[in-house]
Amino acid sequence: MDTGNKTNNSKTEANISGNFIHDIIDRHLEEGVYKKVHTRFPPEPNGYLHIGHAKSICLNFGTAAKYNGLCNLRFDDTNPAKEELEYVESIIEDVKWLGFDWEDRLYFAADYFDKMYEYAIMLIEKGKAYVDDLSAEEIRKLRGTLTEPGKNSPYRDRPIEENLDLFRRMKAGEFEDGTRVLRAKIDMASPNMNMRDPVIYRIAHLPHHRTGDKWCIYPMYDYAHPLEDAIENITHSICTLEFEDHRPLYEWVLDELGIFPNPPVQIEFARLELTNTVMSKRKLRVLVEEGKVSDWDDPRMPTISGLRRRGYTPTSIRDFADRVGVAKNNSVVDIALLEHCLREELNKDAQRVMGVLNPLKLVITNYPDDKVEYMELENNQEDPEAGTRDVPFSKELYIEREDFMEDPPRKFFRLAPGKEVRLKNAYIIKCEEVVKDEATGDILEIRCSYDPETRSGLPGAKRRVKGTLHWVSVKHAIPATIRLYDYLFVEDENGEMQYNPDSIKELKGYVEPSLKGTEAGSRFQFFRQGYFCTDIVESKPDDLVFNQIVPLKSSYKPGK
RNA sequence: UGGGGCGUAGCCAAGCGGUAAGGCACGGGACUUUGACUCCCGCAGUCGUAGGUUCGAAUCCUGCCGCCCCAGCCA
């Protein structure tokens, strides 16, 4: 059945292509199992979102959009020991930044605690749940192992009235943490460990970021999640593969209660892994705590906040999420695909500018001392509408240190003694002399002559030279801090991913004067270098800090 | 040795009984005042493996192998 693509061009649409989940939904709609589609993104507010979550966000919101349905943002905040308001705020910011809109449907599991409690009472009354006085240790011992069945708790067959009384007293705060739990009464011999009378409520005398001190018992995920979904009339509860084993329990809770006429179905997909980084909250936390990165929003982090600070766009991340696909294979996606998405977008609309990362002074000996010419540069040759600007040119310039070699290999299309090269939208120059530090041998400056007939636009400019260099006029240059990044993890000689101690390089470079006053968060393509974004935390209009988002691709292979 | 999943190219991923899409990466070439972009070309004689069913199998069946997940009062 063709459900049609969303016709209103909401910017929040992830343009999701088909996948096995959509096939299931198509069938549901066809068979009338559901009349509409309602999904949710249900983060636990216990950490920052990363690009793996972005995949899930795009899937859930994108699926809803595809079927003209709705997607809720719901915090699954059933464990106050780990959750904080700080995280709910960052998650809201990140989902919004990615471009998704949950309208007025911002929900919290905690807001359903009263209902969940009532439902638990119902289960007890049906004889489907019981209060267990065993310690965590004892429960574990009786649970059995993967190959041996568990054993019933001695409290398993306690009378309903007693269970009711005990559960009410658990809620009333009469018992210490860990002294009692409420368990679902299912089957201690089930081959599925999750069905061996799972704990559904525990005692925790902890304040909750939303409910304060109202509760000292909190529901467990397996019990709470299906209820959250059912209460919100979710149709398709999409989660990751590790919950596949929990599906029978998800269904058990809803079935036993029997009060939801059209309960949701849980569908699992493989979470995203990326090369050259780590993705678990735990591992990311270690990087932060060990000071390997500055914070969760360090531009090297795969967190949404890190990617944002690095300069990644929401569009490129959504595009990436769409391209990696949705399936059940555990997969590790090459980070080159993410980079490709960013380049593809920014190639289309990033302003081109000239910035010299590693400056080397170049003097044009036959150019008049005080002369300044303004060279016209296209803002973006991919987009004629972007117009042009004038960039000052003078006798003394900075070029990239890498663009000069005293003793170049073959096919070095740049500057070398006696060789000619084009300065972007200016003149052809020829290297006449290399000035070095007598003591160290370091190259201090390059002295060149220029051919006045070869100015861009003049007939003499037709002459071809193999290389074109970017440049910045010394007296007009704006100093800037430029940060280059490498992957946080790189492959060692055995093919293992290892932490990369050299993942950041900070340079003092120069950029063309048009960049004066640039606001934080602005993106550019630095000619021949890559895409850069002014750091949203540290860049100031009069003290620019650029983060390299990704370098330009290069087919230049030294030595070939 | 229990249960639940998954095996299609270097990495993702379509495919749903009629003869292996697409993307990324990679290699070659054209173009180029960005070694970028763009454009061309190449890149799985076979789908983990062995059998079986069929006129026909990546698709159905059986066995085997490999990998992932489950024994939290985490989610």
* pLDDT averaged over every residue in chain A: 95
Q: Residue A147, CB, less than 7 Å from strand B?
A: yes
CA–CA gap between residue A308 and residue A363 (Å, rounded): 39
The fold of A357-476 is: Ribosomal Protein L25; Chain P (2.40.240)
Closest CA to A486 of A533, A550, A541, A399: A550
Q: Residue A468, CB, less than 7 Å from strand B?
A: yes
**Span CA (A365) to C1' (B47), Å:** 66
- What does the pLDDT read at residue A382? 94
Average pLDDT, stretch A278-296? 95
Instruction: Kindly report which amino acid residue has its CA closest to the C1' atom of nucleotide B69.
Output: A242
Three-state secondary structure call for residue A284: helix
- What does the pLDDT read at residue A362? 98
Q: Per mean pLDDT, which range of A11-20, A191-200, A241-250, A259-268 is the poorest?
A: A11-20
Per DSSP, the residues of A332-366 read EE-HHHHHHHHHHHHHHHPEEE-EESSEEEEEETT
Task: Encode A133-160 in three state secondary structure.
Answer: CCCHHHHHHHCCCCCCCCCCCCCCCCCH
- What does the pLDDT read at residue A559? 61
Shortest-distance nucleotide from A428 CA to C1'? B33
Express as a percent the part of chain A with pLDDT over 70: 97
Global pTM value? 0.95
Average pLDDT, stretch A500-512? 97
Confidence of residue A73 (pLDDT cuts 50, 70, 90): very high
Q: Residue A333, CB, less than 7 Å from strand B?
A: yes
Active-site option among A196, A281, A343, A483: A281
A419-475 tens-digit pLDDT:
999 999 999 999 999 999 999 999 999 999 999 999 999 999 999 899 999 999 999
Q: Is A168 a catalytic residue?
A: no
- Which region holds residue A258: left if phi is over 0, alpha if psi is between -120 and 50, else beta? left
- What does the pLDDT read at residue A17? 58
- What does the pLDDT read at residue A322? 97
Q: Is A271 a catalytic residue?
A: yes
What count of residues does chain A have?
Answer: 560
A183-209 tens-digit pLDDT:
999 999 999 999 999 999 999 999 999
Give CATH for domain A114-219: 3.90.800.10
The fold of A478-560 is: Ribosomal Protein L25; Chain P (2.40.240)
- What does the pLDDT read at residue A16? 47
- What does the pLDDT read at residue A492? 84
In chain B, which nucleotides are within 7 Å of a protein Cβ? 1-8, 10-16, 22-28, 33-38, 67-75
Residue A418: pLDDT over 60: yes
Q: Sketch the domain layout of chain A as residue ranges.
A: 9-108+222-340, 114-219, 357-476, 478-560
- What does the pLDDT read at residue A493? 77
CA–CA gap between residue A239 and residue A383 (Å, rounded): 41
Confidence of residue A9 (pLDDT cuts 50, 70, 90): very low
Q: Do domains A357-476 and A478-560 have the same CATH topology?
A: yes
Closest CA to A299 of A521, A88, A497: A521
Query: What are phi and psi for residue A93, nearest 5 degrees?
Result: -60, -45
Express as a percent the part of chain A with pLDDT over 90: 94
Q: Is A185 a catalytic residue?
A: no
- What does the pLDDT read at residue A1? 28
Active-site option among A271, A292, A361, A430: A271
The fold of A9-108+222-340 is: Rossmann fold (3.40.50)
- What does the pLDDT read at residue A364? 98
A299-320 tens-digit pLDDT:
999 999 999 999 999 999 999 9
Q: Residue A335, CB, less than 7 Å from strand B?
A: no
Do the beta carbons of residue A40 and residue A56 sit within 8 Å? no
Three-state secondary structure call for residue A163: helix
Residue A15: pLDDT over 90: no
Half-sphere exposure of residue A129, counting CA atoms within 13 Å on the CB side? Answer: 27
Residue A152: pLDDT over 80: yes
**Span CA (A457) to C1' (B31), Å:** 20
